Amino acid sequence: MAESRSRDLRDQCAEVALKLIGEVGVEGLSIREVARRLGVSHQAPYKHFASSNHLLAEVVRRMYADFSAYLLSRPKGRNEAESMENLGIAYFEFAMRNPLHYRLMFGNPLPDPDQHPEMMSEARAAFTILLDSIAAARGGKNVKLDQLDALFVWSSLHGLSTILRTNALDEIGLKQAVLSEALPHTLMRIGVALGI
């Protein structure tokens, strides 16, 4: 009972923290406000998280887990090449549909990775999905080349997602038509580059 109640509070903290971040941004996350919204004292969350950064790390860890799940749930495709393409689409979709989640994972001021190993192991799992898919598409004969290309693909997708998300490009003067074609164009270029 105590076990379940406490687990409840831990979960609820992470949940409310995410909602709060959505409202006021990462820098507005306040452990006291989380406690307030849950109707508990300002110290209660400290029984479950050593510091406010640990709370943030837990939120981020969950985002990585969601991300991995989304990538894995993509349509399979009839062959490895199609599966790769679907992966690219899924990656981008996730970033566009869940900008907050994506920003939390790859936005910068993350809790120091060294101090939050559980967060990092979830991140590693996400990258592994991408790496495996590339290796599969090419028979996995040249591990190093696969890794380099996985990095290349990830870079391109990540960069595009980040850039489009910021709205910086509206300001820069690119037309909407350009922006909406950016993903298929990038996927096409990646295909050309990798000879798939």
Partner DNA sequence: TTCATAGGTTGACGCCGTCAACTTAGTCCT
Partner DNA sequence: AGGACTAAGTTGACGGCGTCAACCTATGAA
Instruction: State which residue, 49 or 102, has the beta carbon closest to a copy of itself.
Output: 102
Decide which of DNA, a copy of itself, none touches 12; Cβ closer than 5 to 8 Å per partner kind: none
Given 3-state DSSP classes, what are the helix, strand and coil percentages for the chain, each rounded to the nearest 5? 80, 0, 20
What is the H or E stretch that residue 107 is in? none
For residue 175, the one-letter residue type is K
1 contacts which partner out of a copy of itself, DNA, none, CB within 5 to 8 A by kind? Answer: DNA
Which of 37-45, 82-90, 103-111, 132-140 is the region at the interface with a copy of itself (rule: CB under 8 A)? 103-111
User: 115 or 128, CB closer to DNA?
Assistant: 115
Q: Rule CB under 8 A: is residue 26 a binding residue for a copy of itself? A: yes
CA 26, 30, 33, 34 dihedral sign is positive
Look at residue 3 and give the partner it binds from a copy of itself, DNA, none, a contact being a CB closer than 5 to 8 Å depending on partner kind: DNA
User: Which residue, chain included where needed, has tokens 């580059």?
Assistant: 193
Least spacing, CB of residue 55 vs a copy of itself, in Å: 14
Query: According to the binding rule CB under 8 A, does residue 65 interact with a copy of itself?
Result: no
The stretches of 114-175 forming alpha helices (DSSP H) are: 117-137, 143-165, 168-172
With CB under 8 A as the contact rule, the residue among 65, 89, 194, 196 that binds a copy of itself is 194
E strand or H helix that includes residue 88: helix 80-97
- b vs e for 55-91, b when ≥16 Cβ sit within 10 Å of the residue's Cβ? bbbbbbbbbbebbbebbeebeeeeebeebbbbbbbbb
Q: Are 55 and 15 in contact (CB under 8 A)?
A: no
Shortest Å distance, C-beta 48 to DNA: 6
For residue 45, the minimal CB distance to DNA (Å) is: 8
Contact residues for a copy of itself (CB under 8 A)?
A: 25-27, 103, 106-109, 113, 120, 123-124, 127-128, 144, 147-149, 151-152, 154-160, 162-163, 166-169, 171-175, 177-178, 181-182, 185-186, 189-190, 192-195
